[in-house]
Amino acid sequence: MKSTFLIVLLLASAYGQKLPLGPLTEDFQNWLISNGYEADAFDRSDVGPSGSFGGRLKSNERIHNQPVIFVHGTGDAALHVQAPTATGWSRSIQYFMEQNYTNAELYATTWGDTWGAGNVLDSYTTIHTCSFVLNIRRFLQAVIDYTGADKIDVIAHSIGVPLARKAIKGGTLIATDGNCTIGPPLGKKVDTFLGITGPNYGLCTCQLAQTVPAFCNALDGLYPGYTCEDQLLCGYTSSKCEQNNYSVFLEQLNNNKEREAEHIYAMWSDVDEVLLFKGMTWGKPTSRIPGMNGRWISDRNGHIAMKDLTELRQYEAVVHHSI
Ligand SMILES: *[C@@H]1O[C@H](CO)[C@@H](O)[C@H](O)[C@H]1NC(C)=O
Ligand SMILES: *[C@@H]1O[C@H](CO)[C@@H](O)[C@H](O)[C@H]1NC(C)=O
Ligand SMILES: *[C@@H]1O[C@H](CO)[C@@H](O)[C@H](O)[C@H]1NC(C)=O
């Protein structure tokens, strides 16, 4: 309780300074319209100025740094909408700008429609994995084409991690909202992928609730499987075991050998109040990413603070490839 209060205070004081302001710049919005992305509505004007971020301020602006694309988790948005959960990527973007990154080198859009208080129920009753993954994929592609960058960096949080991993790996997807083709692998265009508190091997809290909430389902949700060799309780295993029968989406994603990036990193926390069980699924950190080059584990940050209070590590990961 005390630490939550402290975080709120910290965030409040940070936001008193210069908050990055969305939405996408006019230059990027015009480019999107003339390049077939109008219907994607990446500016997300329905969310307000916090619905998106990024783009050149002037059309002749040069781009020096590898563009960074930020992918939020469920119930969140591109930038700060409301504390304590929908804080977006405002702090990270502010920090990168303090390190001389420009508007044209930092990108975020809001995927899904579940960030607002009025829509929270929706995240329990429906899941749209194909449409979410396609939306993220098209945004990555748009930023790559618009910036002309050789390589981009991707930083994702929570459920945004498996969704962004799939968007990059490409291929096909069988989902509850239909089947879709994502496209060829994009990993060669990605220098660094950083996954923060991603439920890559499922969520143990979904073990006993396979369909409610919807995001727990075994096809394209976060279902962790019902048994692991002779073990029955996902959250309380002491030894590692071979995880079976977990979400088809996650299993195929983890078995797919395409890399998300040249440099892959993960971060998670022992005290994550959303992942629970020290972030373990069947005795293994669910936020691990197969083939990752490094990881950092916090002993104090909650699920949202892992995104909001790690901006320096995010910067180090994408710029200096260390975590
Ligand atoms: C950002 O630019 C300022 C002014 O040119 C410079 O002093 C500073 O070292 C730069 N910081 C980084 C991280 O490049
Ligand atoms: C998606 O593919 C699966 C497996 O091929 C098939 O059973 C299912 O009917 C397809 N769903 C749709 C909506 O086409
Ligand atoms: C569960 O996984 C095991 C081992 O991979 C497999 O033999 C079995 O058919 C699976 N059961 C279901 C219901 O998918």
Q: What domain range is 140 assigned to?
A: 2-202+244-320
Helix or strand holding residue 280 (H, E): strand 280-281
Has residue 119 been placed in a domain?
yes
Q: Provide DSSP, 96-108.
A: HHHTT--GGGEEE
For 236-285, what is each residue's pLDDT tens digit?
877 778 898 999 999 999 999 999 999 999 999 999 999 999 999 999 99
Has residue 274 been placed in a domain?
yes
pLDDT at 6 over 60: no
Count the Cβ atoms, other than its own, within 10 Å of residue 36.
Answer: 10
For 294-311, what is each residue's pLDDT tens digit?
999 999 999 999 999 999
Atom 7 of ligand 2, residue of closest alpha carbon = 174
**Token pair for 160:** 């945004």
Instruction: Provide mean pLDDT across the span 316-321.
Output: 98
Has residue 207 been placed in a domain?
no
Q: Judging by beta carbons within 10 Å of its beta carbon (0-12, 13-18, 19+), is residue 295 exposed, middle or buried?
A: middle
Using a 6 Å cutoff on CB, does residue 320 contact ligand 1?
Answer: no
Q: Quick one: what percent of the chain has pLDDT higher than 90?
A: 79
**Token pair for 162:** 């498996």
Residue from 65, 66, 100 whose mutation best tests the ligand 1 pocket (most atoms within 8 A of CB) = 100
Has residue 120 been placed in a domain?
yes
Gap from CA of 159 to ligand 2 centroid (Å): 24
Q: How much is the pLDDT for 277?
A: 92
**For residue 9, what are the CA distances in angstroms to 12, 142, 240, 274?**
5, 37, 39, 21
Atom 4 of ligand 2, residue of closest alpha carbon = 174
Has residue 224 been placed in a domain?
no
For 143-178, what is each residue's pLDDT tens digit?
999 999 999 999 999 999 999 999 999 999 999 999
Has residue 140 been placed in a domain?
yes
Has residue 213 been placed in a domain?
no
Task: Provide the number of structural domains found in the chain.
Answer: 1
Buried/exposed code over 227-240 (b: 16+ C-beta within 10 A; e: otherwise)? ebeeeeebbebeee
Ligand nearest to the CA of residue 320, numbered in listed order: 1
Has residue 315 been placed in a domain?
yes
**Token pair for 85:** 């959960």
For 208-218, what is each residue's pLDDT tens digit?
877 777 889 99
Using alpha carbons only, what angle is made at residue 186 by residues 243 and 107, rounded to the nearest 5 degrees?
100
Residue from 128, 129, 173, 174 whose mutation best tests the ligand 2 pocket (most atoms within 8 A of CB) = 174
Gap from CA of 322 to ligand 1 centroid (Å): 20
Residues 42, 139 contacting (CB under 8 angstroms): yes
**For residue 106, what are the CA distances in angstroms to 10, 58, 66, 197?**
23, 15, 9, 21
Domain containing 191 — which CATH number?
3.40.50.1820
Counting from 1 in the atom list of ligand 1, the atom nearest the Cα of 99 is 13
